[in-house]
Amino acid sequence: MIEIQKRMLSRLRHRHEAFCRFTNYIGILFQAMCQALGYTVTRSGIASFKVTVSDEQVEPKKEKEGVFDWISRSFLLFGPFFLPAGLVLLMSFFIIGEGFVYFTPVHYTFVESLTGFWLSFSTLASEYINFLVNIDLLHPLHVGFLFVLLFFGLGIRPSYIGEKRKEKIDMFHDLRQIKDHLIEKPWYLVVIILILYVFYIVSLFINPVIYIGLFTIFGWLSLTAIIAIFLTFPLLLLLYATDEIRPRWNIMPFLTVILSYVLARVVFFYYPIQQVEGVSLLIMLISTFLITMILIKYKRTNRFKPTPKMKHLRDTDGKKRTIKK
């Protein structure tokens, strides 16, 4: 999904370069935050913190080697998959707190543990969907959280759109870096596996729910990331569609988004129905789609300029020459 998003951004770059650079800046900012967190955890300190639209530079106060250096680089490689999603997941607790339900197995068996994980995962997913389907766009808290999801979805990973020296960086490049990082110190990986196993054994005696809860949180993080990326697709499609409309008319789809929703809410205020927010959202989406399609059909951008008319003249020597009229 991230690579599809990157391809869509590359198509928008020729007219929305500032927007593409902004999304790249968000992704680089998250990377810099993860690297700074790695230096903080290893007590290396942060000497400088610099973020631009194309690169980031975080330097530690103390250069450490061995396991501390490996941990710092681990935060840089793994952090962007967890830290931004964790921040959004924390915010979502105040919006859809009912979805954070953890089902405790009666007997600590693999099947019951897996069932409890799936129930916790599906409950949060259904609450997310219910929130998005019935979102109240007149509620400041709901609108703010929607912008947070879009902000995170657009910057979950730097796109490097327009950066020639980094045009080949993709998800496979990140995965290769993670593989090389793990192979570089295989004993560190063995130690981590042993620590997880010891944590599992200890949780059996203290509280078996703790171990399952850890992986449930990882599932919630992945769900948050998927939903955030998915929400960016309608926005990118709308931008791509408005590029097909003439400049004087390409603002109409965005105005339709606002006017159709407000008008629907006003009408339903005087004529109440059930699920007002969801029906208003549906009307907004259908209206925006229809208006956009109509404008693309009748107010489409002229991709090719007409060929200039040619005028034929004769020189004094009788030879024929052609000029543009």
pLDDT in tens, the chain (325 residues): 888 888 888 888 888 888 888 888 888 898 888 888 988 888 888 888 888 887 888 888 888 888 888 888 888 888 888 888 888 888 888 888 788 888 777 767 777 778 888 888 899 999 999 999 999 999 999 999 999 999 888 888 887 766 655 556 667 777 888 888 888 888 888 888 899 889 888 887 887 778 888 888 999 999 999 999 999 999 999 998 888 888 888 889 999 999 999 999 999 988 888 889 999 999 999 999 999 999 988 877 765 554 445 444 454 555 555 555 4
Q: What are the DSSP calls for 123-190, one per residue?
A: HHHHHHHHHHHT--TT-HHHHHHHHHHHHHHHTSS---TT-GGGTT--HHHHHHHHHHHHHHSHHHHH
CB of 24 closer than 8 Å to CB of 159: yes
Does an H or E element contain 277, and which? Answer: helix 276-298
Cα(23)–Cα(8) distance, rounded to whole angstroms?
A: 12
Pairing verdict, β 56-60 and 46-51: antiparallel
CB of 32 closer than 8 Å to CB of 72: no
Written as six digits, the tokens of 149 are 């999801």
Q: How far is CA 111 from CA 44, 85, 123, 171, 300, in A?
A: 43, 28, 18, 33, 57
Residue 203 amino acid letter: S
List CB contacts of 34: < 8 A, sequence separation 6 or more: 75, 76, 78, 79, 80, 83
Closest CA to 76 of 100, 119, 44: 44
Cα(231)–Cα(75) distance, rounded to whole angstroms?
A: 27
Cα(214)–Cα(117) distance, rounded to whole angstroms?
A: 10
| Residue 164: HSE in the Cβ half-sphere, 13 Å Cα cutoff | 0
Length of the chain: 325
Written as six digits, the tokens of 122 are 């599906």
Q: CB-based burial of residue 78 (10 Å sphere; 0-12 exposed, 13-18 middle, 19+ buried)?
A: middle
Q: Where are the domains of the chain?
A: 2-238, 244-298
What per-residue confidence (pLDDT) applies to 302? 65
Q: Find tokens 């902000």 and name the residue.
A: 151
Written as six digits, the tokens of 301 are 């951008």
What per-residue confidence (pLDDT) applies to 285? 94
Does an H or E element contain 56, and which? Answer: strand 56-60
Residue 177 amino acid letter: Q
Residue 176 amino acid letter: R
Q: How far is CA 169 from CA 77, 158, 165, in A?
A: 14, 9, 9
What per-residue confidence (pLDDT) applies to 262? 94
What Rg do the C-alpha atoms of the chain give, in angstroms? Answer: 27
List CB contacts of 155: < 8 A, sequence separation 6 or more: 23, 24, 25, 26, 27, 29, 30, 84
Written as six digits, the tokens of 126 are 């259904």
